[in-house]
Amino acid sequence: MPTKIIEPPPLAPGTLRVIPVGGLGEIGRNMTVYEFDGKLLIVDAGVLFPEEHQPGVDLILPDFAPIRHRLDDVLGVVLTHGHEDHIGAVPYLLRLRSDIPLIGSTLTLALVEAKLKEHRIKPYTLGVREDQSEQIGPFHLEFVAVNHSIPDALAVAITTPAGRVLHTGDFKMDQLPLDDRITDLRAFSRLGEAGIDLFLPDSTNADVPGFTPLEREIGPVLENVISRARKKVVVASFSSHVHRVQQVLDAAAAAHRKVAFMGRSMVRNMNIAAELGYLRVPEGILVDAKRASDVPDDQIVYMSTGSQGEPMAVLARMANLEHQVEIGEGDTVILASSLIPGNENAVYRVIDGLTKLGARVVHKGNAKVHVSGHAAAGELLYCYNILRPKNVLPVHGEHRHLFASADLAIQTGVPPRNVILGEDGTVVDLRDGVATVVGQLDLGYVYVDGSTVGSITDADLKDRRVLAEEGFISVFCAVDFTTGQCVVGPEIQSRGFAEDDSVFDDVRPQIVRALIDAAANGTPDQHAYSQAVRRTVGRWVNTRHRRRPMIVPVVIEA
């Protein structure tokens, strides 16, 4: 896989350039840029949610560097479906140019428009559906129905004079989906007969053998768990998982329970889905969250966010007794989602907290309350055999998923030299049926921290981790810059390192000597004295205490 930064050459005439900006080596930030004849088309613009080693970060965006100075060349953004890892970065992209057209299905556009409304952006949109074609500049787009864990998902075939690309977005091949909308393998077959020059498949479950279980198998399990619950029931899921919410509504109705939506995004998304007819709400079943406490515990189901252990989401606040809904003995909590890699510790902490409060916690590990929305290895093999692509660039997955998808492609007859294992920023040129890696851009994470975007760096996060794990020591000295004599201090304060300041009595004389030595060994300035203090304290604290706190020396001239 490319690791060395290689500047790509200018794009040759008649060549299609493909740059995955995000989604390779990670579950999230899905975004791919296509360029032909000086014009750009973007497929998806999603976010990645932070892990524990990224404290204080709210969201992680794709690096817009490849398009930041070419925004006028962007003809549109095709959105394959309405999950956050595919649409979450759209508001931040449209902050750079608000009139970039958004192209997607009815539900997808409704979800992203609601999100943009919060950012006070009114987008230009083009609604499309399966079997529809559009010509956007030099890009001919054909939209294909695919089945996923959210309705209205679309794959897109992109045709230019350089060849045809099929970009699946997220998909699986559930043959009995809840909305009766299957992945259109007939369209895949037609495209395969016409010729696929480059295939970009969803690889998230490429390392899972066989086939993804049917979504319909979840309904009876949820009905059984909810019907047997003695007190209140809380079901946590992704706020855009319309199919799962539908199953919860049906199970609650069968158990003669009311349902309250909890969490701002859950309420917003389900209202949109219901208004557009994608969510069928049984008459009289919904109750406002503010009035749900008036319903007896054995007659209520709370449908909430927080299935990934997010600290500020509803479920985590319930586990920490920081929410209006109090979890107690006899309650049932169902985590109806899969674990996104990196979230395991956070989720298990929430499970432990709920269990400690007396709740019965049902999750994928002990009951069949969730199935994946992504094609497993067996389904991908079908796709490779139907499409017979000339070249393959696996996307949407961590490295093990990309390797597994590549291996499946090779097993079905794609020549190994035509299977590209890329990273974010890998530049692929397609011409005359040949896909070639021509460069590797240096792309990084863009962190959203409160109201700031891109201001936080990896170095800042490292400092935050050090502060959280090792503590903080500040050293103040007023020094005669000529002799190195410490006139005032050293005054040492710490946070998160030691409660008793007497622990620093041993190092104070060492700091005084280090300052004098610094004066004797050259023509020191403030920086040189500060470095002498930092080295002395760092060496002492590492040797004596086996710690690496943040050390901040403050040296002024006496």
Whole-number percent of the chain with pLDDT over 70:
94
Looking at residues 392-396, what average pLDDT do you find? 97
- Name the fold adopted by 16-210+373-451: Metallo-beta-lactamase; Chain A (3.60.15)
pLDDT of 493: 83
DSSP state of 73: G
Three-class DSSP category at 114 = helix
Looking at residues 397-420, what average pLDDT do you find? 96
Lowest-confidence region among 3-17, 128-142, 395-409 = 3-17
| pLDDT above 90 (res 545) | no
How sure is the predictor about 130, in pLDDT bands with cuts at 50, 70 and 90? very high
Angstrom distance (rounded) from CA 29 to CA 17: 20
List Cβ neighbours of 431 (8 Å cut-off, separation of 6 or more): 12, 14, 15, 16, 162, 163
Q: Which of 155-164, 254-263, 301-310, 401-410 has the lowest mean pLDDT?
A: 301-310
Eight-state DSSP code of residue 385: H
Task: Give ranges for CATH 3.60.15.10 in the chain.
Answer: 16-210+373-451
Q: Around 136, how many Cα atoms within 13 Å sit in the side-chain half-sphere?
A: 31
Count CB atoms within 10 A of the CB of residue 118. Answer: 10
The pLDDT assigned to 255 comes to 95
Highest mean pLDDT pick, 167-181, 497-511, 512-526: 167-181
Specify whether the CB–CB gap between 31 and 62 falls below 8 A: yes
Q: What is the mean pLDDT of the chain?
A: 90
Rounded Cα–Cα distance for residues 418 and 431 (Å): 13
Q: What is the mean pLDDT of residues 502-517?
A: 87
Which whole number is the average pLDDT over 182-205? Answer: 97
pTM: 0.84
CATH of domain 215-362: 3.40.50.10710
Q: Is the confidence at residue 190, as pLDDT, over 60?
A: yes
pLDDT tops 60 at residue 2:
no
Q: What is the DSSP string of 272-286?
A: HHHHTTSS---TT-B
Of 53, 14, 16, the closest CA to residue 35 belongs to: 16
For 63-89, write each residue's pLDDT tens digit.
Answer: 999 999 999 999 999 999 999 999 999
Share of the chain above pLDDT 90, in %: 63
Looking at residue 1, its pLDDT comes to 47
Q: What tens digit of pLDDT does each residue of 411-430 get?
A: 999 999 999 999 999 999 99
Three-state DSSP state, 447: strand
Rounded to the nearest 10 degrees, the angle between the axes of helix 526-545 and helix 508-520 is: 140
In the chain, residues under CATH classification 3.10.20.580 are 458-557
- pLDDT tens for residues 453-474? 766 677 767 766 666 677 888 8
Mean pLDDT along residues 20-24: 94
Nearest to 24 by CA among 389, 381, 416, 400: 400
Token pair recorded at residue 477: 């000295």
List every span in the chain annotated with CATH 3.40.50.10710: 215-362
> CB under 8 Å to 504, separation ≥6 — which residues?
492, 494, 498
CATH of 458-557, one of 3.40.50.300, 3.40.190.10, 3.10.20.580, 1.10.10.10: 3.10.20.580
